């Protein structure tokens, strides 16, 4: 599966990760999927940062605990041609590698972007899928 993060989406994630530092940020990836001849391609075009409800200990994988935010984003993009293609979160002062919990909660077909962020800013952005 090929994943393309455009400039807007990576800038939005970087800003969110820097603003939340040293806490974690998380949000939704919006984009388009093009399925041709079995080889999926996903384009990430925009992101939406999740409201930081749990100050200081918000975790990437808490989306299922916040269905209202997901619902609001679904309503917002209805008819726009965009769809929810995955999620992102930051790892403050940690590598952009999924934790065991991150991996366990990955849903096939969705993209998971992880940003490594330090006091100097975002040092790495990587994307993962349940298949990879």
- Which positions touch Zn ion (CB under 5 A)? 60, 99, 102
Q: Choose between 32 and 66: whose C-beta lies nearer to Zn ion.
A: 66
Q: Is 74 left (phi over 0), alpha (psi -120 to 50) or beta?
A: alpha
Compute the least distance from the CB of residue 101 to Zn ion, in Å.
7
Degrees, nearest 5: CA angle 55-16-71: 75
Compute the least distance from the CB of residue 74 to Zn ion, in Å.
23
Q: Choose between 5 and 26: whose C-beta lies nearer to Zn ion.
A: 26
Residue closest to Zn ion (Cβ): 102
Q: Choose between 43 and 91: whose C-beta lies nearer to Zn ion.
A: 91
User: Measuring CA to CA, how many Å separate 121 from each of 59, 61, 76, 115?
Assistant: 19, 22, 30, 10
Q: Choose between 3 and 43: whose C-beta lies nearer to Zn ion.
A: 3
Dihedrals phi, psi of 15, to nearest 5 degrees? -60, -45
Compute the least distance from the CB of residue 46 to Zn ion, in Å.
21
Buried b (16+ CB within 10 A) or exposed e, 108-130: eeebbbbbbbbeeebeebebbbe
Compute the least distance from the CB of residue 114 to Zn ion, in Å.
6
Which token pair is 120? Answer: 């100097």
């Amino acid at each position: 599966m090929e994943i393309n993060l455009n400039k807007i989406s990576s800038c939005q994630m970087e800003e969110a990760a820097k603003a939340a530092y040293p806490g974690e940020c998380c949000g939704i990836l919006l984009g388009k999927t093009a399925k041709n001849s079995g080889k999926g391609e996903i384009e990430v075009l925009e992101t939406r940062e999740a409201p930081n409800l749990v100050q200081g200990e918000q975790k990437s994988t808490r989306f299922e605990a916040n269905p209202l935010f997901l619902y609001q984003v679904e309503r917002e993009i209805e008819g726009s041609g965009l769809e929810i293609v995955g999620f992102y979160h930051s790892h403050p002062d940690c590598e952009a590698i999924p934790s065991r919990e991150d991996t366990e909660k990955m849903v096939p077909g969705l993209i998971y972007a992880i940003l490594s962020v330090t006091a100097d800013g975002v040092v790495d952005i990587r994307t993962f899928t349940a298949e990879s």
